[in-house]
Amino acid sequence: MQLAGMGAGALMLPPFASMANEVDPADLLNPWIDVAQKKQLADIALNTTKSLGATYTDVRIGRYLSQAVSTREKRVQGISNTESYGVGIRVIANGTWGFAATNTVSPDGIKKAAERAVAIAKANSKFQKEPVKLAPNSSYGEVSWRTPIRKNGFEIPVKEKVDLLLAANAKAMDKGASFINSQIALINEQKYFASSEGSYIDQDVFRIYPTFSVTSIDRQSGQFKNRQALSTPVGMGYEYLDGNAADKIQAPGGVILYNKSYDIVEDASIAADQVKEMVAAKSVEPGKYDLVLDPSHLWLTIHESVGHPTELDRVLGYEANYAGTSFLTLDKWQSKKFNYGSKQVNIVADKTQVGSLGAVGYDDEGVKCKSWDIVKDGILVNYQAIRDQVNIIDQKESHGCCYSQSWADVQFQRMANISLQPGKEKVSPEQMIANVEKGIYIVKDGSFSIDQQRYNFQFGGVLFFEIKNGKIAGMLKDVAYQANTQEFWNSCAQICDESDYRLGGAFNDGKGQPGQVSAVSHGSATARFNGINVINTGRTI
């Protein structure tokens, strides 16, 4: 993830679909063509490619909507509404993939794109050394899936969003913040998938991300700090902003955390107090510490050090020139005894988890989504793979994690929600901290960097609390920890129980050339890692 520009094998902005056009917000609510029309159009593509000799075809007719409302202090900075629609057609001809896309969603436009896809496949087949082998997939007939939302964010008036953000800004400014920038971003993917194997899948996917950054500046010392919102992007409707009391968590250090519902006004108010403390905090003494990592922080460490290295295309070298490869070579998986982590570490990939960013009914090659084990009792047991990859790991069924950021881009293997399972023993974060002699409690993700094979990483955070003899002893600053992936996960000593399990995530995981983004969540409960190397990042220029 990066705040501007491109990211490689990481997370990047912008989160919105490519080739999107700015539109009237009212247009975002207009129903598009109905399912029967989509099926008719898809059948044109399927018939065209079949007649030209394609042995497999899938068609994705997509309408991708986004809305973003941005403010700072007392003013609205931007309101953006975009819509992008078109058709992407992928075929196998001569054992080779071909892909073409068009924004001309008409019988003629689709026929031409279908012809181009077959022509590209045939042209590329000259360079193909290994013909595509697709794992079998069921024919699901005509089915549909929708993110289970209670409030469609696109139906909420823009003014209501502006008022909410300005209310949050006002709270922070009243409390003495120097600046605040805040934003609500909404995504809706209306995706229709049809394949030559007889599936016609209509899906309506929703995501939302409210966030802010509060800045405090001490003009005397010239120091400044930013405190980011403790929200997370989720696969939910506007109900995420209800701020239900039941979803608030009183965490150590006086921190208020949020689970399935977020109170942006309250968080902005607390942030204004905390950011001043962050400026004045004690600079960390470098050395070994036991780290107690909140899920709002740990999700990113899971993403980078487990999510990416277990992607099979990275393992095989397909991302070598961009995102990188992986230390998890096939022999480590084949040995059935590669110690990814300690016995407590169980990591599951899941494309069905309610409220997560990755949840859909079917992936972008029409495979019904599921969950599967990646690390079981500390041992690597599987990768993430799609239909044309699973044969390489002697499996007969795709994992259902194929995704494309829009109709205009070709689908490929993307990360499922990869989550650390909670511990079986009943432990709260307070009880965990009570047993730590010398440690740091870290809340919310911050700086991050990992090598191209995912061995060596460094993570920062937002809120750092010193733990001394089982008690929180005030805030720290200039903290970052460095570790090796396998050593880090083997130092995992304890994981809180399922009552503490929460999701974090990002809209903008980047991969591929040309680059594509994907949204993904990672769940965990608060977890303890012993003896991790902490460095001091304070400098003077």
Partner 1 sequence: MAVLSKEEAKKILEKVISFSKAEGCTTNLNGNERGNIRYARNSVNTAGENSNVALSVQSYFGKKSGSASINEFDDASLEKVVRRSEELAQLAPENPEFVEPLSAQTYGGESKTWTEATANITPEYRAKAAADSINPAASKDVTAAGYLEDSHGFNAMMNTKGLYAYNKDTGVDLTVTMRTNEGTGSGWAARTLNDVSKLNTAAISNIAIEKALKSRNAKAIEPGKYTVVLEASAAADLVRLMLNLNARQADEGRSFLSKKGGGTKLGEKLVDERVNIYTDPWNDEVPASPWSGDGQARKRMDLIKNGAVANLTYDRYWATQKNVAPTPNPGNAIMDGGTASLEDMIRDTRRGILVTRFWYIRAVDPQTLLYTGLTRDGTFYIENGKIMYPVKNFRFNESPIIMLNNLETLGKQERAVTSEGNPNGLIPSMKIRDFTFTSLSDAI
Q: 26 is written with which tokens?
A: 């009212």
- Which residues 6+ apart lie within 8 Å of 88 measured at CB? 59, 60, 62, 99, 100, 101, 404, 406, 407, 408, 409, 410, 411
Q: Show the CA angle centred on residue 230, arms to residues 227 and 231, nearest 5°.
A: 130
Shortest Cβ 512–partner 1 spacing (Å)? 8
Give the whole-angstrom CA distance, residue 328 versus residue 347.
15
The rounded distance, in Å, linking the Cα atoms of 262 and 217 is 26
Closer residue to partner 1, CB minimum distance, 144 or 223: 223
Strand partners, 62: 86, 191
What is the rounded CA–CA span in Å between residue 475 and residue 463?
7
Residue closer to partner 1, measured from CB, 8 or 170: 8
Distance of closest approach, residue 16 Cβ to partner 1, in angstroms = 13
Binding mask 383-422 for partner 1 (x = CB under 8 A): -------------------------x-x------------
Q: Are 235 and 203 in contact (CB under 8 A)?
A: no
Secondary structure percentages of the chain, helix, strand, coil, to 5 = 25, 40, 40
Nearer to partner 1, 103 or 435 (CB): 103
Region from 42-50, 316-324, 356-364, 516-524 binding partner 1, contact rule CB under 8 A: 316-324
In the bound state with partner 1, the residue whose beta carbon lies nearer, of 23 and 249, is 23
Find the binder of partner 1 among 31, 34, 129, 394 (CB under 8 A): 129
- Shortest Å distance, C-beta 428 to partner 1: 31
- CA-nearest of 431, 449, 451 to 441 is 431
Copy the structure tokens of residue 76: 């609205």
How far is residue 353's CA from residue 346's CA, in Å, rounded to a whole number? Answer: 16
Nearer to partner 1, 92 or 433 (CB): 92
Which CB, 79 or 135, lies closer to partner 1? 79
Task: Considering the complex, state which of residue 18 and residue 435 has its C-beta at the smaller distance from partner 1.
Answer: 18
With CB under 8 A, what is the number of residues at the site for partner 1? Answer: 78
Distance of CA 128 to the CA centre of its chain: 32
Helix (H, G, I), strand (E, B) or coil at 536: strand
Q: How far is the CB of 219 from partner 1 (least distance, A)?
A: 5
| Residue 530 sits in the site that holds partner 1 (CB under 8 A) | no
Stretch binding partner 1 (CB under 8 A), from 1-9, 45-53, 204-212, 385-393: 1-9
Q: How far, in Å, CA of 428 to CA of 262, rounded?
A: 21
Stretch that binds partner 1, among 127-135, 246-254, 349-357, 416-424 (CB under 8 A): 127-135
Which range, of 19-27, 144-152, 246-254, 268-276, touches partner 1 by CB under 8 A? 19-27
State which of positions 452-511 bind partner 1 (CB under 8 A). 452-456, 458, 460, 478, 480, 482, 484
Integer CA distances (angstroms), 310 to 148, 294, 415, in order: 29, 23, 9
Nearer to partner 1, 101 or 525 (CB): 101
Q: Which of residues 162-201 bind partner 1 (CB under 8 A)?
A: 162, 178-179
Whether residue 514 is preceded by a cis peptide bond, meaning omega within 30 degrees of 0, is: yes
Which residues ranging from 325 to 364 are in contact with partner 1 (CB under 8 A)?
325, 327
Q: How far is the CB of 46 from partner 1 (least distance, A)?
A: 21
Asked if 320 is part of the footprint of partner 1 (rule: CB under 8 A), the reply reads yes
Closest among 122, 126, 129 to 91, alpha carbons compared: 122
Radius of gyration of the chain (CA): 24
- Which residue's CB is nearer to partner 1, number 55 or number 124? 124
Decide if 418 contacts 349 (C-beta within 8 A): yes
From the list 148, 176, 254, 538, which residue makes contact with partner 1 (rule: CB under 8 A)? 538
- List the one residue from 49, 195, 215, 421 that touches partner 1 (CB under 8 A): 215
Instruction: Candidates 218-226, 384-392, 396-404, 428-436: pick the segment binding partner 1 (CB under 8 A).
Output: 218-226
Stretch that binds partner 1, among 7-15, 229-237, 265-273, 352-360 (CB under 8 A): 7-15
Hey, which residues between 47 and 86 contact partner 1 (CB under 8 A)?
A: 75-77, 79
For tokens 């953006």, the residue is 80
Cα–Cα distance for residue pair 466/479, rounded to 1 Å: 10
Considering only residues 90 to 119 of the shown chain, the ones binding partner 1 according to CB under 8 A are 97, 99-101, 103
Residue 449 within binding range of partner 1, rule CB under 8 A: yes
In the bound complex, what is the minimum distance in angstroms from residue 181's beta carbon to partner 1? 11
Query: 58 - beta bridge partners?
Result: 90, 195
**Strand boundaries in 230-306, DSSP class E:** 248-251, 255-258, 282-283, 287-293
Going by C-alpha positions, the residue among 262, 147, 276 that lies closest to residue 202 is: 147
- Residue 29 has a CB neighbour count (10 Å cut-off) of 11
